[in-house]
């Protein structure tokens, strides 16, 4: 992965990526090896867990309750909801105006009912029409409404029409919106504000909804402290509970975050057993791996059974899936209990071992309760929730195993991504809108974020999730992939991507650009000059940083001509001078007014950037922000310099 944060001075420069084969650019990635591993580790682990829960007597039926329509937003309907009456329940005027009878108007027209002053105008006597406003009932003997703007009322009370009216015009028939008995909402639908309004209009004061599952969240660990506590060295705040509770509540659950329990097996077991008596699902945070203080799997095995420990996924590998309580008749069923202590990256799809006889339960005869051992790292915790907890909640709420389809958006990779073949890997990415130099078309480009499982800030900065399935070893730069957007991402498609030269001046610019932005909002990818220009030509970045020879205010003519030949019209933005050379950003003319380039131009012209350059030895900022346009003669729409007689590349500065 070649992603580089926007704080360049503290970052080790990434090695130059190998040259790309242009034939692979912008092509949807497919597996080259048809014999590659085709396992689905996450799906198979989830199915194994559900089977274990079912054999323990667990049922996904969660019950129902009646709630007021006004309070039903976000709740799931327990059955199809049908309209009690039609909407509208009467023939209603769709416009302000007059209600008329078209047959009488037609008869009057045939009999010469037009006024002498204007034969095209029809005059109606007061008994031939009724005044109506939008939403009013239309009298039974009227079959059209004429808009008020087309009606002239005379002092004598007559109405003059400029044209005959069509039957049915501007009248809403009974049931036009909703017919009595029709299904307004299907079963399993999450009620939205517009849905609640439609239900009320259709005659409902209350509806039957599915009971919200109770999710118990148990944080564990000697080093964990509640939010707001003063931390000693080695202690961390219980932030995972906040995240997991919020995710579960967004899914439609009630949550209870229990007091933190230290790494003492008996205390963890007691807390888990107590939680299982009230909860529909128990989440135990941390202790799911194989360290000396990791007791989650042994506690679950003591209180029920472990179905899966360790899934071939990243992040989230050490997750534990099990069931608490339930019936005793399956204690000898093979492949449903136990753990494998080898929870490293080399573990298989998931680890199960044969049970060694009957196991103690939470309490004999108590209902079976699913339980998940959530890894302690934030990114791992989020993946464990998304891949296992969320689909289990969808089963409890009866919204389907997946709870809906996640649709990816086509995006091209700014740099190559490498992945282990035996893992399902979930890579967090940011998205940028990049304008292609030749076509001017904007496309999405994905930039991979750091993959550390403990990076909580990475969760905040993520705009989409790219799944690399087991059997794939990654994708090359320029490959088209389909990451799934993250709802409510804070910095949607606002990333600025620059490739090429890395220097103190470019570091200063990146620092300035990222001063009020998250570190990943500025992605500076170090590449050689040729590779950087190729990436720009491929539409994988907003600008390429290069070092060029200058004569006065103008760059080397041959270099500029070569760039124009490759990219079309360009603008060179000067960063700084270093002796007889200048560091410059190459920007395609088609992208000159894009948001990312505007930010680059503003930063280069700022006093803050000039002050930063003055602190750099050997740099001169007198030309910083200077813009030089290069392109075919006569093609620059903003300037009109003399056209070279030989038709050479034209240059304009400002």
Q: Is the pLDDT of residue 126 over 80?
A: yes
The dihedrals phi and psi of 360, each to the nearest 5 degrees, come to -65, 150
Q: Is the pLDDT of residue 244 over 90?
A: yes
Give CA–CA dist 459/233, Å, rounded: 24
**Closest of 490, 279, 311 to residue 383, by C-alpha:** 311
Contacts of 516 (CB under 8 A, 6+ apart): none
**Cβ proximity of 558 and 531 under 8 Å:** no
Determine the pLDDT at residue 328. 53
Report CA 120 to chain centroid distance, whole Å.
60
Q: Is the pLDDT of residue 357 over 60?
A: no
**Cβ proximity of 132 and 81 under 8 Å:** no
Report CA 78 to chain centroid distance, whole Å.
28
Q: How confident is the model at residue 507 (pLDDT cuts 50, 70, 90)?
A: very high
SS3 for 172-192 is ECCCCCECCCCEEECCCCECC
Q: H helices then E strands: how many in the chain?
A: 14, 38
**Cβ proximity of 429 and 462 under 8 Å:** yes
Angle between helices 595-604 and 504-513 (to 10 degrees): 120
**Among 183-197, 296-310, 351-365, 622-636, where is mean pLDDT lowest?**
351-365
**Could you check whether 42-60+212-396 and 64-88+176-210 share the same CATH topology?**
no
The predicted model gives 207-215 an average pLDDT of 95
- The single-letter DSSP state of residue 305 is E
Determine the pLDDT at residue 367. 87
What is the CATH architecture assignment of 410-653?
Answer: 3-Layer(aba) Sandwich (3.40)
Determine the pLDDT at residue 326. 83
> Above pLDDT 70, what percent of the chain?
80
What class has domain 64-88+176-210? alpha beta
Strand partners, 574: 584
Domains in the chain: boundaries:
42-60+212-396, 64-88+176-210, 92-172, 410-653
The predicted model gives 276-285 an average pLDDT of 95
Largest CA distance in the chain: 106
- The single-letter DSSP state of residue 157 is S
**Among 65-69, 260-264, 293-297, 391-395, where is mean pLDDT lowest?**
293-297
Contacts of 165 (CB under 8 A, 6+ apart): 100, 102, 105, 144, 146
Determine the pLDDT at residue 340. 37
**Among 29-43, 166-180, 204-218, where is mean pLDDT lowest?**
29-43
pTM of the model: 0.77
Q: Is the pLDDT of residue 649 over 60?
A: no
The chain-wide mean pLDDT, for the chain, equals 82
Q: Kindly indicate whether the domain formed by 92-172 is annotated with CATH number 2.170.190.11.
A: yes
Give CA–CA dist 543/412, Å, rounded: 16
Pairing of strands 97-100, 627-631: unpaired
The predicted model gives 623-640 an average pLDDT of 69
**Cβ proximity of 307 and 322 under 8 Å:** yes
Determine the pLDDT at residue 297. 92
Q: Is the pLDDT of residue 345 over 80?
A: no
Q: Decide: helix, strand or coil at residue 134.
A: coil
Give CA–CA dist 118/331, Å, rounded: 96
Give CA–CA dist 459/638, Å, rounded: 43
Determine the pLDDT at residue 225. 94
The pLDDT tens digits for 393-428 are 999 988 764 445 678 899 999 999 999 988 999 999
Topology classification of domain 42-60+212-396: Molybdenum Cofactor Biosythetic Enzyme; Chain A (3.40.980)
- The single-letter DSSP state of residue 556 is -
The pLDDT tens digits for 74-88 are 999 999 999 999 999
């Amino acid at each position: 992965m070649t992603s580089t944060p926007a704080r360049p001075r503290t970052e080790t420069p990434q090695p130059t990526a190998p040259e790309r084969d242009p034939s692979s650019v912008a092509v949807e990635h497919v597996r080259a090896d048809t014999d590659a591993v085709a396992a689905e580790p996450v799906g198979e682990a989830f199915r194994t867990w559900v089977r274990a829960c079912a054999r323990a007597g667990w049922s996904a039926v969660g019950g129902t309750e009646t709630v007021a329509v006004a309070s039903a937003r976000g709740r799931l309907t327990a059955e199809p909801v049908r309209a009690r009456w039609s909407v509208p329940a009467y023939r209603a005027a769709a416009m302000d105006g007059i209600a008329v009878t078209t047959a009488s108007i037609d008869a009057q027209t045939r009999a010469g009912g037009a006024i002498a002053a204007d034969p095209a105008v029809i005059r109606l006597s007061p008994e031939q029409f009724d005044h109506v406003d939008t939403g009013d009932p239309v009298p039974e003997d009227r079959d059209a409404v004429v808009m008020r703007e087309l009606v002239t009322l005379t002092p004598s009370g007559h109405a003059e029409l400029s044209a005959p009216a069509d039957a049915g015009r501007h009248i809403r028939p009974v049931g036009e919106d909703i017919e009595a008995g029709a299904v307004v909402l299907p079963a399993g639908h999450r009620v939205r504000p517009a849905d609640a309004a439609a239900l009320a209009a259709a005659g409902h004061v209350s509806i039957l909804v599915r009971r919200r599952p109770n999710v118990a969240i148990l944080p564990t660990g000697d080093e964990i402290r509640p939010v707001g506590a003063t931390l000693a060295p080695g202690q961390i705040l219980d932030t995972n509970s906040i995240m997991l509770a919020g995710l579960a509540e967004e899914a439609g659950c009630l949550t209870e975050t229990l007091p933190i329990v230290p790494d003492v097996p008996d205390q963890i077991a007691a807390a888990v057993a107590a939680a299982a008596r009230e909860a529909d699902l128990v989440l135990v945070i941390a202790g799911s791996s194989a360290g000396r203080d990791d007791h989650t799997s042994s506690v679950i095995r003591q209180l029920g059974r472990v179905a899966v420990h360790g899934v071939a996924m990243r992040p989230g590998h050490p997750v534990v899936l099990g069931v608490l309580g339930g019936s005793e008749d399956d204690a000898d069923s093979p492949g449903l209990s136990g753990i494998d202590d080898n929870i490293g990256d080399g573990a298989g799809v998931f680890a199960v071992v044969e049970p060694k006889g009957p196991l103690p339960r939470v309490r004999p005869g108590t209902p079976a309760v699913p339980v998940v051992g959530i890894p302690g790292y934030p990114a791992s915790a989020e993946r464990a929730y998304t891949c296992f907890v969320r689909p289990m909640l969808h089963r409890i709420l009866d919204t389907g195993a997946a709870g809906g389809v996640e649709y990816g958006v086509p995006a091209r990779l700014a740099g190559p991504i490498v992945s282990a073949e035996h893992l399902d890997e979930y890579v967090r990415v940011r998205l940028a809108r990049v304008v292609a130099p030749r076509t001017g078309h904007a496309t999405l480009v994905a930039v991979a974020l750091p993959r550390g499982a403990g990076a909580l800030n990475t969760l905040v900065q993520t705009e989409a999730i790219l799944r690399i399935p087991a059997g794939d070893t990654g994708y090359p730069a320029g490959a088209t992939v389909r990451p799934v957007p993250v709802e409510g991402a804070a910095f949607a498609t606002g990333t600025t991507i620059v490739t090429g030269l890395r220097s103190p001046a470019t570091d200063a610019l990146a620092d300035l650009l990222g001063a009020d932005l998250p570190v990943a909002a500025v992605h500076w990818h170090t590449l050689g000059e040729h590779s950087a220009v190729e990436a720009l030509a491929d539409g994988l970045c907003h600008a390429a940083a290069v070092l060029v020879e200058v004569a006065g205010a103008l760059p080397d003519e041959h270099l500029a001509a070569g760039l124009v030949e490759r990219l079309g019209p360009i603008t060179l933005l000067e960063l700084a001078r270093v002796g007889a050379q200048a560091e410059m950003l190459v920007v395609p003319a088609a992208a000159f007014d894009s948001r990312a380039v505007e930010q680059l131009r503003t930063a280069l012209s700022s006093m803050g950037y000039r002050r930063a350059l003055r602190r750099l030895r050997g740099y001169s900022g007198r030309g910083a922000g200077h813009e030089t346009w290069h392109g075919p003669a006569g093609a620059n729409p903003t300037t009109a310099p003399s056209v070279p007689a030989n038709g050479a590349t034209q240059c304009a500065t400002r």
